[in-house]
Amino acid sequence: MKRTGHRIDRSLRLWMFSCFILFFLLLLLLLTGFVNGRANIKAPVQETIAMVNGKEIVKSRLYEMLIDTGGKKALEKQIVEELINQEASKKNIAVTDEDIDLELDILKREYDSPEEYRSKLAEDGFMDRSMRAQISMQLLLDKTRVTDADIQNYYDQNKARWAKQDAVRVSHILVQSKEQADVIAVKLKSGEDFAKLAGQFSLDPGAKSNGGDLGLIERGYLEQSFEDDAFALQPGEPAEITESSQGFHILVVTKRQESAAATLREREEQIRNELIDSEIYDLIGPWLEELRAGASIELLQLQ
């Protein structure tokens, strides 16, 4: 199964969310007395829903079976989801079909084929409708738990981490001797293509295959003499020859990046995801308990 992206695996996050909610529900069932006691709920109308050899099966019989096989947990799950929905509504937070479709598309791309996705869905006990409902509830919980103030505080505390540093994009041709470097420099001055010469002469196998490109380089990652000469160059200037422990390099700079702080807008989605992932166990439980403690919930014990 494929795994992509910084954010924690979607299927894993949904599984974590499901497991946490189930644990939370079991705890609440024990604390609120759902497990014991008789019902005050009126029995369903004695409506016949099936006939077996002339013998009636009434709706109340089906109802009792459903309650015995998971009705208590299902009701408590609906209560928790309703609390989350109400809290989201207070904060004018909504999840759209487009939001769900986007998450579902990302989730599906983590699998090698639609068949693998459907197989995994069935293995975990989900249908497409229930998966959409689970994603919707997860997104609501994410948006409700992480506020704009949380994001701002996290951004303020981590500005240095995301700041862009001075960097240059360098291409080089590595050779063993100064004489060979001089010959290549002459070829470049006469108009020969740098990438072609890199493919022909460079001893660096990694850069040789892509025209000598080393990508953006920040200070502190390569030898001092190499960095000093690279940072002294400007895009478009003639090639420079420098020496390192590996040999002689013919350098050109194709781009410069000046240091700059990352804006909140650039990092907002990443921050939200990091906060969500770090809080899924630590903060959701107490938050749900707080919501439940402050709510007016009339529990009519089930049969």
The mean pLDDT value for 55-84 works out to 74
Which pLDDT score is estimated for 283? 54
Which pLDDT score is estimated for 182? 94
Chain segment 146-180, per-residue pLDDT in tens: 777 888 888 888 887 777 778 899 999 999 999 99
CA–CA–CA angle 129, 66, 82 (5° rounding): 50
Which pLDDT score is estimated for 36? 40
Q: What is the pTM of this model?
A: 0.39
Q: What does the alpha-carbon distance between residue 252 and residue 214 come to, in Å, rounded to a whole number?
A: 11
Q: Is the pLDDT of residue 276 over 90?
A: no
Q: What are the DSSP E strand ranges found in 16-125?
A: 48-52, 55-58
Which pLDDT score is estimated for 171? 92
pLDDT greater at residue 33 or residue 112: 112
Q: Is the pLDDT of residue 239 over 60?
A: yes
Select 10-158+264-293's CATH number: 3.90.1720, 2.60.40, 3.30.70, 1.10.4030.
1.10.4030
The mean pLDDT value for 89-101 works out to 83
Q: What percent of the chain has pLDDT over 90?
A: 15
Q: What percent of the chain has pLDDT over 70?
A: 75
The mean pLDDT value for 177-205 works out to 92
Across 13-22, 105-114, 184-193, least confident range: 13-22
Amino acid type, 231: F
Nearest Cα neighbor of 171 from 218, 215, 132 is: 215
Q: Return the structure tokens found at 267.
A: 């990092």
Q: What does the alpha-carbon distance between residue 125 and residue 28 come to, in Å, rounded to a whole number?
A: 23
The mean pLDDT value for 263-271 works out to 80
Q: Is the pLDDT of residue 184 over 90?
A: yes
Q: Return the structure tokens found at 142.
A: 């994410």
Instruction: Yes or no: say if 140 and 134 are a contact pair by the CB < 8 Å rule.
Output: no
Residue matched to tokens 């439940």: 292
The bridge status of strand 55-58 relative to strand 167-175 is unpaired
Class of domain 164-257: alpha beta
Across 67-76, 165-174, 224-233, least confident range: 67-76
Q: Is the pLDDT of residue 3 over 50?
A: no
What is the three-state SS of 59-89? HHHHHHHHHHHHHHHHHHHHHHHHHHHHHHH
Chain segment 12-55, per-residue pLDDT in tens: 455 445 545 544 554 454 444 444 434 444 555 578 878 887 88
Residue 66: which pLDDT band, with cuts at 50, 70 and 90? confident
> What are the residue boundaries of the structural domains of the chain, listed by start?
10-158+264-293, 164-257
The mean pLDDT value for 108-131 works out to 77
